Amino acid sequence: MAHDECPAMEKESTVHDLTKRFASRASRRGVLKGGAALGIGSIGLGPIGSRLAAAQDGGSLEVFSWWTSPGEAPALQALFDAYSAAYPDVEIINAAVAGGAGVNAIAVLQTRLQGNQPPDSWQTHIGRELIDQYVVPGYCEPITDLYTGEGWTDVMPAGLVDQATWESEQYSIPVGVHRGNGFWYNKQVMADNGIEIGDTMTADDFFAAADTLQAAGIPALALAMKDTFPGAQTFENTLLGSVGPETYNALFQGEAAWDDQGVRDAADTYAKMLDYVNQDFSALSWDQAFALIIEGKAGFNSMGDWAYGEVVAKDAEDNIGWVSHPGTEGSFVLVVDSFTLPVGAPNAENARNWLTVLGSKDAQEAFNPIKGSIPARTDANRDLFSTYHQWSMDSFAKDALVPSCAHGQAASPAFKQAFYDASTAFVTDKDVDTYIAMLSDAAAMDAEATS
């Protein structure tokens, strides 16, 4: 049975109900914030007034992220709600900066950190992004005592904890595990065009479907280059499909050559895929491109499962199917979101409490059904999750886990930037030789920097 044919299960409605509940809580918070913004005092306001007055007593908590899309924002709100339920007298300041994969947020944060103005906690991926960009330069406090006190090491896979660890200390708490190598499609569009999708797809399956869609005037691959990361992400997925998980890891670890034939084959395949993209790709953000899939205006989208957050937000569960990006079944591209404790956090105690909430079973069970990711904790109640989430949980348990470079986990920040730059150029010039040369040069510079 293809994944898209799974009967709508009770769990789907659980997710749906959760989403609705959080959406209504979110708007209640909006009212409070509006009142505060208007400078309405506490006198004579009854319960709202006392809540406002109380909010000042606990101080504030500034949380920095890039979660602003229709699917991301309600998921972030679920975390805020979990925090507010435990600490109702703390005012939360949502300092999110728009731009998928943090393309803008990471730069804004860097300026703040260099200027000694950290927020109270920020979103980052475990692995090289956390360690190279924030821990080694001295921007993060260790939170090892929280790991010990909360028993997190017992309930999180060692591989994830390792990627949050530097010199035996833990520095961030993972809140959700995204699968980066999803290939999403609109079931109705496929049915209307006589395209059958099985449990997996090869690149050739994709090209056959793409020709049919193209003949019907439908772009087969939705691409979004406004926030640039999809260019790099679609390539890393194609690369994984071409060379397999071992060589993929070896490449990002500097142990395999980028001018290898497998990389060249991946670039050739990617170039061919780019012949089927929507014309307006440079103007669209990732969620706008994914909306083309939901609205039936494009065929497929290669995207991490934050896309499933858009599906949930738009009640599109029944009409959206998925497989692994062609050729990548058996692998799970890790994109693990986590939050940090800064050196010099303005509200350190509130920040530590925030991290404690994020590591809790309740918060992870509330957040991940809306976000599209699976909990980092392994003790979450599976029944709270959709068919898609359960599919991803199974993949996480049995497949090869490989970190994403497009989302900062696999390689140094400098290599990631070069990977973006080379991929952005390739999306328009499709010049395989130049692409390979740029990637090889970046790897050589990276090796030199670390030698």
Binding site for ligand GAL (CB under 6 A): 66-67, 72, 100-102, 178, 286, 306, 335, 337, 407
- Please give the radius of gyration of the chain, using alpha carbons only, rounded to the nearest integer: 22
- Torsion, CA 302, CA 337, CA 103, CA 63, rounded to 10: 140
DSSP string, 422-433: HHHHHHHH--HH
Smaller CB distance to ligand GAL: residue 102 or 342?
102
Least distance between ligand GAL and beta carbon 58 (Å): 28
Smaller CB distance to ligand GAL: residue 66 or 332?
66
Least distance between ligand GAL and beta carbon 21 (Å): 21
Strand partners of residue 140: 342
Least distance between ligand GAL and beta carbon 145 (Å): 26
Least distance between ligand GAL and beta carbon 99 (Å): 8
Residues near 94 by beta carbon (within 8 Å), at least 6 away in sequence? 63, 76, 80
Smaller CB distance to ligand GAL: residue 178 or 325?
178
Smaller CB distance to ligand GAL: residue 218 or 369?
369
Smaller CB distance to ligand GAL: residue 66 or 276?
66
Least distance between ligand GAL and beta carbon 223 (Å): 15
Closest CA to 382 of 360, 410, 361, 406: 361
Give the nearest residue (CB) to ligand GAL: 100
Q: Residue 216: how many CB atoms within 10 A of its CB?
A: 14
Read off the DSSP letter of residue 2: -
Question: Could you tell me the maximum CA-CA distance found in the chain, to the nearest angstrom?
Answer: 73
| Contact in structure between 423 and 416 (CB atoms under 8 Å) | no
Distance from chain centroid for Cα 82: 20
Least distance between ligand GAL and beta carbon 169 (Å): 23
**Buried-state track 31-66, b at ≥16 Cβ within 10 A, e below 16:** eebebeeeeeebeeeeeeeebbeebeebeebbbbbb
Least distance between ligand GAL and beta carbon 217 (Å): 29
Smaller CB distance to ligand GAL: residue 127 or 327?
127
Least distance between ligand GAL and beta carbon 121 (Å): 15
**What φ, ψ does residue 45 adopt, rounded to 5°?**
-100, 0
Smaller CB distance to ligand GAL: residue 309 or 321?
309
What letter represents residue 362's amino acid? Answer: D
Smaller CB distance to ligand GAL: residue 128 or 407?
407
CA–CA separation, 202 vs 208, rounded Å?
Answer: 10
With residue 64 as reference, give the H or E element that holds it.
Answer: strand 60-64
Q: Write out 159-226 in H/E/C secondary structure.
A: HHHHHCEECCEECEEEEEEEECCEEEEEHHHHHHCCCCCCCCCCHHHHHHHHHHHHHCCCCCECCCCC
Least distance between ligand GAL and beta carbon 63 (Å): 14
Smaller CB distance to ligand GAL: residue 305 or 446?
305
Smaller CB distance to ligand GAL: residue 26 or 96?
96
Closest CA to 328 of 185, 200, 184: 200
Least distance between ligand GAL and beta carbon 65 (Å): 8
